[in-house]
């Protein structure tokens, strides 16, 4: 208890500085509203339903895009590792497009899918796809060939080999790739929402900021940050649970 | 999962790129999609050449890369300093530990409107935004690297009379360099992504701003040629980081074994 208090004391100090700096007129209160004002504003956004409405919209779009990328990415990654012909054609394309700064695709997604949810989901999907493909591919190729041969020799079907050997063997790498994708998904979603659209947390932030409601804007920024942080923590727990069987 | 010799693999790699571009061209010309949705590769490439010759593309690309590199450099230097101090000074570590563990997974892109409020919409603001995003992975990697430095090495250097300063620059930082560089290699793509998003949100010149303008004017060829340019630049930057890594770490086992 005491150790935890000591560990998180720096955050408390930061919060106190945040509260006092504008109150003592060290910084302009419109540039940095006191933390208590931000908290009050967060409550009214919560009561009015703004955070719930936009938060749910953001999380749903994030989930659709991310889950789509995970499913398609794992499938393509396994196919690339499994079929040499597919490998030879798809791998160079994946490797060439991988370093592309993913945010550049947002305008194309808006051209293709409009200003609504479609372009947000597509941006998240496109941004997360390559990390999942690449980590699955690397994981699946790292599996010892003898394991696959032995299973085949013992009469396992291709499907069984995939389910019992390839996927579990590649799982650590896949899970690590999905963690990267999760971080990227937040970046792309919030970026797309900041740029265009009429709902979502990114929209709420830019709407409040444009309107000069800065305590509200800070409240929304902190909310998004908390979403991202807790999503990562929950995912870490899930990852540990998934990998329990390894030692 | 057959292995192929590397030259054959490389050649087939280029074939697959050509096939992809040909498929794009055929799909675009088949009128399944309108020119607005999918301009052909040849039209986009023509535009890329046109904008390169007029100098517009190079100016935009140069500005974007300059902002990304400037922010990356600031984040990298600050990250290494903070990381090393965290590894060596308990008080610094106590202060930054919770901040870093919350700051790293946080979607810092949401702070763009805050940076606009604080620093405006010009270079300063974009570069600081990039630095803010690039900082955290470098801190974490540097700290991990500096912590793992072999104790015996530090003891030996100290007993041979090395000053704390030389200990830091000749033992701790070089020994942590592989990890530090891994952190930099994570931070660089982030710097590019954030530079482009900042330009999109704050406007002005640069590839991100140009892409948004072209999108608003339904100039699809412009958008696709911009993406080709960003894609090529991004690949070159990532490749360059790999080369620098191999150069800097020539003495390390990692380079010698591979």
Distance CA B231, CA B224 (A): 10
B105 to A187, B84, B122, B140: CA distances (angstroms) = 11, 21, 27, 11
Q: Tell the burial category of A153 from Cβ atoms under 10 Å away from its Cβ (0-12, 13-18, 19+).
A: exposed
Distance CA A37, CA A13 (A): 17
Report the CATH number that the domain containing residue B127 is assigned in CATH: 1.10.3720.10
B185 and B114 in a common domain: yes
> Is pLDDT at B2 greater than 60 in this prediction?
no
CB A186 within 8 A of CB B72: no
B147 to B31, B122, B144: CA distances (angstroms) = 60, 38, 5
pLDDT of residue A43: 95
Q: Is B222 helix (H, G, I), strand (E, B) or coil?
A: helix
Percentage, residues of chain A above pLDDT 90? 68
- Average pLDDT of chain A? 91
B46 and B27 in a common domain: no
- Average pLDDT of chain B? 89
B28 and B5 in a common domain: yes
The tokens for B42 are 């040849």
B142 and B25 in a common domain: no
Tokens 């650590």 label which residue? Answer: A172
Which of B2, B19, B37 is the closest to A112 by Cβ? B37
Q: Tell the burial category of B24 from Cβ atoms under 10 Å away from its Cβ (0-12, 13-18, 19+).
A: middle
Cα of B191 to nearest chain A Cα, Å: 9
B26 and B100 in a common domain: no
pLDDT of residue A108: 92
Q: Say whether B234 and A100 touch across the interface (CB within 8 A).
A: yes
Distance CA A50, CA A39 (A): 15
Residue to mutate among A15, A103, A217, with most B CBs inside 10 A, is A103
pLDDT of residue B255: 66
The tokens for A99 are 């370093």
The 10s digit of each residue's pLDDT in A22-62 is 999 888 888 899 999 999 999 999 999 999 999 999 999 99
Q: Is A132 helix (H, G, I), strand (E, B) or coil?
A: helix
B106 and B26 in a common domain: no
Which of B13, B105, B196 is the closest to A101 by Cβ? B196
Closest Cα to residue B131, out of B185, B67, B176? Answer: B67
The 10s digit of each residue's pLDDT in B67-119 is 999 999 999 999 999 999 999 889 999 999 999 999 999 999 999 999 999 99
Provide CB contacts within 8 A for B133, sequence distance 6+. B71, B75, B108, B109, B187, B190, B191, B194
Q: Say whether A7 and B97 touch across the interface (CB within 8 A).
A: yes
The total domain count for chain B is: 2
The 10s digit of each residue's pLDDT in A3-22 is 888 888 999 999 999 999 99
Backbone φ and ψ for B118, nearest 5 degrees, come out as -80, -40
B2 and B46 in a common domain: no
Q: Which of residues 18-47 of B touch A (CB under 8 A)?
A: 19-20, 36-37
B129 and B28 in a common domain: no
CB A16 within 8 A of CB A9: no
Domain housing B205: 39-257
Q: Which value, to the nearest 10 degrees, does the dihedral of the CA atoms of residues A69, A75, A80, A83 take?
A: -160
> Is pLDDT at A228 greater than 70 in this prediction?
yes
Q: Which value, to the nearest 10 degrees, does the dihedral of the CA atoms of residues A245, B2, B3, B4 take?
A: -150
Q: Say whether B197 and A191 touch across the interface (CB within 8 A).
A: yes
A43 to A48, A52, A219, B205: CA distances (angstroms) = 8, 11, 9, 39
B208 and B150 in a common domain: yes
The 10s digit of each residue's pLDDT in A108-164 is 999 999 888 999 999 999 999 999 999 999 999 888 888 888 888 888 888 888 888
For domain A39-242, say whether CATH 3.90.1150.10 is its number: no
């Amino acid at each position: 208890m005491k150790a935890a208090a000591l560990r998180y004391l720096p955050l408390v100090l930061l919060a106190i500085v945040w509260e006092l700096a504008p109150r003592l007129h060290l910084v302009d209160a419109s540039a940095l509203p006191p933390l208590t004002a931000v908290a009050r504003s967060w409550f009214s956004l919560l009561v009015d339903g703004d955070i719930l409405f936009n938060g749910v919209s953001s999380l749903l779009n994030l989930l659709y895009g991310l889950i789509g990328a995970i499913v398609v990415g794992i499938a393509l990654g396994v196919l690339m590792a499994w079929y040499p012909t597919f490998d030879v054609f798809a791998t160079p394309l994946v490797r060439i497009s991988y370093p592309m700064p993913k945010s550049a695709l947002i305008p194309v997604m808006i051209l293709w899918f409009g200003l609504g949810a479609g372009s947000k989901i597509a941006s998240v999907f496109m941004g997360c796809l390559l990390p999942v493909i690449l980590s699955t591919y690397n994981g699946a190729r790292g599996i010892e060939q003898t394991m696959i041969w032995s299973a085949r020799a013992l009469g396992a079907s291709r499907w069984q080999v995939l389910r019992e050997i390839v996927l579990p063997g590649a799982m650590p790498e896949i899970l690590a790739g999905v963690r990267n994708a999760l971080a990227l998904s937040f970046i792309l979603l919030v970026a797309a929402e900041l740029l265009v659209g009429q709902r979502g947390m990114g929209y709420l932030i830019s709407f409040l900021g444009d309107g000069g409601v800065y305590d509200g804007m800070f409240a929304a920024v902190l909310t998004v940050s908390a979403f991202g942080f807790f999503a990562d923590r929950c995912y870490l727990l899930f990852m540990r649970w998934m990998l329990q069987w390894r030692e | 999962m057959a292995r192929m010799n590397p030259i054959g693999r490389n050649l087939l790699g280029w074939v697959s790129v050509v096939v992809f571009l040909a498929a794009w061209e055929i799909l675009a010309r088949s009128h399944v999609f309108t020119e607005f949705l999918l301009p052909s590769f040849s039209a986009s490439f023509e535009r890329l050449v046109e904008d390169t010759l007029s100098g517009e593309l190079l100016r935009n690309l140069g500005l974007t890369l300059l902002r990304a590199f400037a922010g990356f450099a600031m984040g990298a230097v600050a990250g290494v300093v903070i990381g090393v101090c965290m590894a060596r000074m308990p008080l610094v570590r106590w202060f930054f530990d919770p901040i870093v563990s919350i700051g790293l997974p946080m979607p810092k892109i949401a702070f763009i409107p805050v940076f606009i409020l604080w620093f405006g919409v010009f270079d300063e603001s974009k570069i600081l935004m990039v630095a803010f995003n690039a900082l955290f992975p470098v801190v974490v990697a540097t700290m991990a690297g500096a912590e793992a430095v072999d104790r015996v090495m530090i003891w030996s250097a100290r007993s041979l009379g090395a000053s704390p300063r030389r200990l830091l620059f000749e033992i701790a930082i070089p020994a942590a360099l592989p990890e530090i560089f891994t952190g930099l290699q994570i931070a660089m793509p982030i710097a590019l992504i954030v530079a482009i998003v900042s330009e999109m949100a704050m406007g002005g010149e640069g590839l991100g701003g140009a892409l948004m303008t072209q999108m608003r004017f339904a100039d699809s060829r412009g958008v696709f040629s911009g993406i080709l340019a960003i894609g090529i630049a991004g690949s070159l930057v990532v490749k360059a980081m790999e080369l620098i890594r191999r150069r800097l770490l020539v003495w390390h086992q990692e380079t010698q074994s591979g």
